[in-house]
Amino acid sequence: MGMIDLTITEGLAELVLDAPARRNALDAEALEELSGALRAAESRGARALLLRGAGPGFCAGRDISAVDPATDDVDDFLGRRVTGVLRQLAEFPAPTFAAVHGACLGVGLGLAIAADVVYVGERAKIGSPFANLGATLDSGGHWLFVERLGPHRALDLVYTAELMSGREAVEQGLFSRWVADEELLEFARARARRAAEGARLAFAASKGLVAEIRDRRLGLWEAIAAENRAQAALCASEDYAEGFRAFQEKRAPRFRGR
């Protein structure tokens, strides 16, 4: 029996990490299953995707219960398997959301980083516990902490292995919003459903622009030029015409993704 559950309802794909007994920790087999689920959601035309974990936590990272460091091919596991799945999620051609509660560590933190929007439970646990393993933070954690918190706070988290609550992580600028734990899932679902009903082409344009600004470090005028090109391309779409027409007719738009 696998640990990844995928359902698609009215365009919203809900992807669940479902191995609560091991806090949804991922091994190579689970990563392959997760990769397949992402491909399936894309091929079935999902208009938005929500990633979450079953049980008491989101994802505690890599499942190391059966790993022998003497024979572990960490380059293959992290460089090919983990990074491949993170890229799949980051490049998913529709808005992606993560609902994070409980432990969000290691590979789990990487999955959150790769999602477009992250809502976290107030009592989620986020940080770098690797000081206790003689290992280093992976899956993009260093990038996130340095980018959002600065180098001093990043190394403070690494050296101490102290974990932030979800509320602290949001207040320090890591993710979108914190929500009371008991309200998190429905909060995230409601916003993912709204995105699934929205202007898919416009969302894809914004997703691409944000990635370009982040990865290429665009300046203001470069970013404006990129926005102008994206808007000009959208102008020829049916959704663009429908959005203007709906505004002028004072009704809700009916976007079709073309």
The DSSP line for 228-247 is HHHHHHHTTSHHHHHHHHHH
C-alpha span between 161 and 134 (Å, rounded):
11
pTM for this entry: 0.93
Residue 67 is predicted with a pLDDT of 81
Give which of 108, 106, 128, 127 is closest to 118, Cα–Cα: 108
Distance CA 3, CA 141 (A): 24
| Parallel, antiparallel or unpaired: strands 125-127 and 48-53 | unpaired
pLDDT at res. 242: 87
Distance between CA atoms of 108 and 21, rounded to whole angstroms?
15
Per-residue model confidence (pLDDT) at position 71 = 84
Q: Which CATH superfamily is domain 4-196 in?
A: 2-enoyl-CoA Hydratase; Chain A, domain 1 (3.90.226.10)
Determine the pLDDT at residue 232: 95
Alpha helices by DSSP H, the chain: 28-43, 74, 83-90, 107-114, 141-149, 151-160, 166-171, 184-196, 200-216, 220-234, 238-248
For residue 174, give the nearest of 88, 104, 239, 229 by alpha carbon.
104
Between the two ends of the chain, the Cα-to-Cα distance in Å is 38
At 1 the pLDDT is: 57
Distance of CA 24 to the CA centre of its chain: 16
* pLDDT per residue rounded down to tens, the chain (258 residues): 589 999 999 999 999 999 999 999 999 999 999 999 999 999 999 999 999 999 999 999 888 788 878 887 888 888 899 999 999 999 999 999 999 999 999 999 999 999 999 999 999 999 998 888 888 889 999 999 999 999 999 999 999 999 999 999 999 999 999 999 999 999 999 999 999 999 999 999 999 999 999 999 999 999 999 999 999 999 999 999 988 999 998 988 988 888
Q: How far apart are CA 138 and CA 128, in angstroms?
A: 9
Distances (CA, A) of 189 to 48, 103, 146, 196: 10, 20, 30, 10
Rounded to 5°, angle at Cα 111 from 227 and 130: 130
Cα(114)–Cα(16) distance, integer angstroms? 16
